[in-house]
A and B are shown apart, each in its own frame.
Chain A
Amino acid sequence: MRHMTLALAATALATAVTFGAAEAKTLVVGVADNLTTLDPPNANDTLSAGAQRNIYQGLYGFDSKMQLEPLLATSYEANADATEFTFHLRKGVKFHDGTDFNAEAVKINIDRVRDSKVPTKRQSLVSMVDRVEVVDPYTVKFILKEPFGALVNNLAHAGTFIVSPAALAKYGKDIDRNPVGTGPYKFKKWSGDLFETVKNENYWRKGYPKVDGVVFKSVPENGSRIAMLQAGEASFVYPLPSELAPVVKANQKLEVVKVPSIIIRYVAMNTMKKPFDDIRVRQALNYAVDKNAFCKVVYGGYCKPAEGPVPDLLKYSTTVQKGGWAYDPAKAKALLKEAGYPNGFETEIFSKNNSTYIRAMQFIQQQLAQVGVKATVTPLEAGVEAQRVWSVQKPEDATVQLQYGGWSASTGDIDWATRPLFYGQSFPPKLFNVAYYKSDVNDAAIKAGIATADDAKRAAAYKTAQEQIWKDAPWIFLTDDEILVGQAKGLSGAFAAPDGGLNFEKAEFK
């Protein structure tokens, strides 16, 4: 046995990859999960999109404040009813394989995403596109089947990153393992827990990139991920759980970066079922929960009360009520009494079974108990939860009473923060209106908002929608999250955007 141990150790040494010998200028990023794919339209997780963003770019992108930023396009024009969009493309850009970036490349990519013969997960981003026309090599025109005012946002989404047409032809379905884009870094390797890229020497933005490459290591355990940062094995870790922020803060070489997010936390109430079909009950539950305390208890203080049904940072978001829905248990009790529930009622709240979600549900349970509402907490494994919400074909069969959840509108447009959640035609299994909320005023406003590309008109429509939703209270409106990043003090230019999307284009070590 001893011989065996020695022999094994010797072989291990011999086959070992040298650790810590990597170039000091390669940026190592510690993340929580493994990537799922490197094929842009088939990614549905923010992390895979973040990895792809090193290699790929879209016509537009998002800056650190989630504002649109021209990347492969330089500008665009749209007609008034949002059915035609013309994009002017950046000249002199080459894919990593030397192929020229031009209008033809855009057409090939968009056609690939929406072509139903090759189903992609993100097809819905461009399913409203009727055709893409190449006007000249650097001008491309999108003609839509129906008005869609948020098209530019959808084209800034990772699902519509532009892939080298030559690589698409060469690799076919295997493009997910051989990504070729126009981004600041070139793909090197992806295997299990490790994703590696190297500097693109011919990157179109002059002077960038400033690091030799970006490496993602997936480290699921929070404590271990922070240890990587402390030990200098990584310079950027995301996510940083709020309970570990003090550890990073205490270290002189590290810092915590706080990013206001577009993630909203809420409890959906089934507005079609008793007792939540009574608006007074829904209002009462909103009054019953102390949002500031929720923030402290569940998210270590890293969030703020929701001031409307849509997170603050999204364009056209309205502050319906400054400071969020008031905390007033007395009023909650009065409303419940008025609605015919003087002694409260029993109900159930369910959500995913991770520790943060359970803590959130328990907190809400405790708050509701103060006004006489006895809620049972049911944590569900992800698949079981999905089954419970989405196997329902008819609204009357829904078993949802209360569901705790979070939503991040990954297109960065308000349409995706309202239509899937509050539109009368978005009931499960179609979309995510788990509250089964339907209001004619709101439905009309959401429809009007997407039917135009005119700023003032969209703003007005969504203001109406948000005020109506707030009034009808299909949710207990809780908080807007803040997301946390831990990083080495010498690092600049690297960021997590408000949707949690990672961006290392301008990363630099000082």
Chain B
Amino acid sequence: MLNYLIRRIVGIVPVILVIALLVFLFVHMLPGDPARLVAGPEATLQDIENVRRSLGLDRPIHEQFVLFLWHAVQGDFGNSLKTRIPVVEEIGLRLTPTIWLTVCAMAWATVFGLLIGVASAVKRGRWPDYVGMFIAVSGISFPAFWLGLLLIDLFSVRLGWLPTGGFESAKSLIMPSFTLGLGVAAVMARFTRSAFIEISREDYIRTAHAKGVYARAVIWKHTLRNALIPVITMVGLQFGFLLGGSIVVETVFSWPGLGRLLVDSVAYRDYPVIQAEILLFSLEFILINLTVDVLYAVANPEIRFK
């Protein structure tokens, strides 16, 4: 297990390097001159040249890449072209709110998704199944921006209970994490349900029932445990996506998250921010994949690392 972990972690390094190169090339291939975009709509040619020089964009591209790598290794991703604030600081400022939002949304979504999924599977074809799946389908179908604005109108404007947006207190987490988590909970419920039903048709479950194991123990210990494998994969994937920030929820609730930062920096051709953010997302996905693999073993000891 330890060997396996070390091998996996060492394997991350070349992957990150390749990603860094790809991201760098991709970003510089985008049409649009960052110096002009940074200098703004009214800038004169002279103003734009000043900006280009001050940002180091007048150097040859390979030189820029080597500099980028050299600084990145030292944890320095340069300054945002737009705000001149260090990229690490820009991202740090939004990483905490993004993690909060992701963790809260994932936490409630996973718990409720699992419960609804199991309930629907166990009582399939009866009312808990219909209610559960009705909720799940609605959850997937609700457009987040619409739900978000409805919530704001009800809880902030009419009732005055919750702030309309921003990240200022625990209260401001409630509506965004609910909105963000709803879709995840729905997917989770459907996933758990089908995985659960599939496992419950297995021979060993029938055997368990036949040998007189309590129904409750069959559900929680035998069936769920095995059904968890695809569910864990799903949780990992969703977690990774949400860590990338959600543009819709961040916009509706003025949430200072990474999704909006990425969209803004693409619009501005803010190279350093785009590069650092995509690298961060890649790293997050790699780490989540690793964690998911380890969790497989925890959920099902029969999975061995080879």
Please judge, given known A-B contacts A13-B170, A37-B83, whether A233 and B164 are in contact too, CB under 8 Å: yes
A441 located at the interface, meaning its Cβ lies under 8 Å from any Cβ of chain B in the complex: no
User: Which one, A5, A36, A116, A120, contacts B111 given CB within 8 A?
Assistant: A5
- A124 CA / B267 CA spacing, docked (Å): 25
CB distance from A122 to the nearest CB of B (A): 7
Chain A residues with Cβ under 8 A from B156's Cβ?
Answer: 227, 230-231, 233
Number of interface residues of A (CB under 8 A): 63
User: Which one, A2, A193, A387, contacts B31 given CB within 8 A?
Assistant: A387
B94 located at the interface, meaning its Cβ lies under 8 Å from any Cβ of chain A in the complex: yes
Number of interface residues of B (CB under 8 A): 63
Chain A residues with Cβ under 8 A from B153's Cβ?
Answer: 227
Please judge, given known A-B contacts A44-B42, A223-B149, A383-B32, whether A2 and B111 are in contact too, CB under 8 Å: yes
User: Which one, A2, A221, A233, A430, contacts B45 given CB within 8 A?
Assistant: A430
**Chain A, Cβ-Cβ closest to B104:** A8
- A17 CA / B167 CA spacing, docked (Å): 9
B37 located at the interface, meaning its Cβ lies under 8 Å from any Cβ of chain A in the complex: yes
User: Which one, B46, B85, B94, B252, contacts A224 given CB within 8 A?
Assistant: B252
- A254 CA / B98 CA spacing, docked (Å): 33
Q: Is the CB of B267 within 8 A of A218?
A: no
Q: Is the CB of A17 within 8 A of B47?
A: no
Chain A residues with Cβ under 8 A from B253's Cβ?
Answer: 224
Q: Is the CB of B267 within 8 A of A224?
A: no
Chain B residues with Cβ under 8 A from A221's Cβ?
Answer: 145, 251-252, 254
Stretch at the interface among B49-57, B59-67, B134-142, B292-300: B49-57
Chain A residues with Cβ under 8 A from B14's Cβ?
Answer: none
Chain A residues with Cβ under 8 A from B37's Cβ?
Answer: 382-383, 386
Q: Is the CB of B166 within 8 A of A193?
A: yes
B107 located at the interface, meaning its Cβ lies under 8 Å from any Cβ of chain A in the complex: yes
CB distance from A445 to the nearest CB of B (A): 21
Chain B residues with Cβ under 8 A from A2's Cβ?
Answer: 111
Q: Is the CB of B164 within 8 A of A220?
A: no
Encode B136-172 as 1/0 by CB contact (under 8 A) with A: 0000000001001100110011001001111011111
Q: Is the CB of A120 within 8 A of B50?
A: yes
Chain A residues with Cβ under 8 A from B44's Cβ?
Answer: 124, 430-431
B window 85-120: CB within 8 A of A: 85, 93-94, 100, 103-104, 107-108, 110-111
A45 located at the interface, meaning its Cβ lies under 8 Å from any Cβ of chain B in the complex: yes
Chain A residues with Cβ under 8 A from B46's Cβ?
Answer: 123-124, 127
> Counting chain B CB atoms within 10 Å of each CB, which of A36, A37, A121, A230 scores highest?
A121
A381 located at the interface, meaning its Cβ lies under 8 Å from any Cβ of chain B in the complex: yes
CB distance from A481 to the nearest CB of B (A): 15
CB distance from A156 to the nearest CB of B (A): 15
Encode A207-224 as 1/0 by CB contact (under 8 A) with B: 000000000011111011
Q: Is the CB of A390 within 8 A of B39?
A: no
Please judge, given known A-B contacts A192-B93, A219-B254, whether A386 and B43 are in contact too, CB under 8 Å: no
Q: Is the CB of A44 within 8 A of B53?
A: no
Please judge, given known A-B contacts A217-B254, A386-B36, whether A123 and B157 are in contact too, CB under 8 Å: no
Q: Is the CB of A231 within 8 A of B164?
A: yes
User: Which one, A124, A219, A233, A386, contacts B33 given CB within 8 A?
Assistant: A386
Q: Is the CB of B40 within 8 A of A119?
A: no
Chain A residues with Cβ under 8 A from B268's Cβ?
Answer: 383
**Chain A, Cβ-Cβ closest to B111:** A1
Please judge, given known A-B contacts A123-B50, A127-B46, A231-B157, whether A44 and B256 are in contact too, CB under 8 Å: no
Q: Is the CB of A16 within 8 A of B170?
A: yes
A69 located at the interface, meaning its Cβ lies under 8 Å from any Cβ of chain B in the complex: no
B187 located at the interface, meaning its Cβ lies under 8 Å from any Cβ of chain A in the complex: no
A4 located at the interface, meaning its Cβ lies under 8 Å from any Cβ of chain B in the complex: yes
Please judge, given known A-B contacts A19-B172, A176-B84, A223-B152, whether A387 and B32 are in contact too, CB under 8 Å: yes
**Chain A, Cβ-Cβ closest to B50:** A119
Q: Is the CB of B83 within 8 A of A382?
A: no
Q: Is the CB of A391 within 8 A of B254?
A: no
B25 located at the interface, meaning its Cβ lies under 8 Å from any Cβ of chain A in the complex: no
Q: Is the CB of B164 within 8 A of A228?
A: yes
CB distance from A147 to the nearest CB of B (A): 18
- A458 CA / B268 CA spacing, docked (Å): 38
- A44 CA / B252 CA spacing, docked (Å): 26
User: Which one, A45, A124, A230, A430, contacts B157 given CB within 8 A?
Assistant: A230
CB distance from A10 to the nearest CB of B (A): 9
Chain B residues with Cβ under 8 A from A42's Cβ?
Answer: 84
- A461 CA / B232 CA spacing, docked (Å): 74
> Counting chain A CB atoms within 10 Å of each CB, which of B39, B49, B166, B172 scores highest?
B166
Encode A227-252 as 1/0 by CB contact (under 8 A) with B: 11011110000000000000000000
B30 located at the interface, meaning its Cβ lies under 8 Å from any Cβ of chain A in the complex: yes
Q: Is the CB of A192 within 8 A of B94?
A: yes
Chain B residues with Cβ under 8 A from A9's Cβ?
Answer: 104, 170
Encode A1-26 as 1/0 by CB contact (under 8 A) with B: 11011001100110011111000000
Q: Other CB < 8 Å A-B pairs besides A221-B252, A383-B33, A386-B37, 15 of them? A: A4-B107, A5-B107, A5-B108, A9-B170, A12-B169, A13-B169, A18-B169, A19-B163, A119-B51, A176-B84, A193-B256, A228-B164, A233-B156, A383-B32, A383-B269
19 contacts between A and B (CB under 8 A): A16-B170, A18-B169, A19-B169, A37-B84, A44-B43, A121-B40, A219-B165, A223-B252, A224-B253, A227-B157, A230-B157, A231-B160, A233-B164, A384-B32, A386-B36, A387-B31, A430-B45, A431-B44, A432-B42
Give residues in A with beta carbon < 8 Å to B. Answer: 1-2, 4-5, 8-9, 12-13, 16-20, 34-37, 42, 44-45, 116, 119-124, 127, 173, 176-177, 191-194, 217-221, 223-224, 227-228, 230-233, 381-384, 386-387, 390-391, 410, 416, 420, 429-432
The 8 closest A-B pairs by CB, nearest first: A383-B32, A44-B40, A119-B50, A16-B169, A12-B170, A219-B254, A5-B107, A124-B44
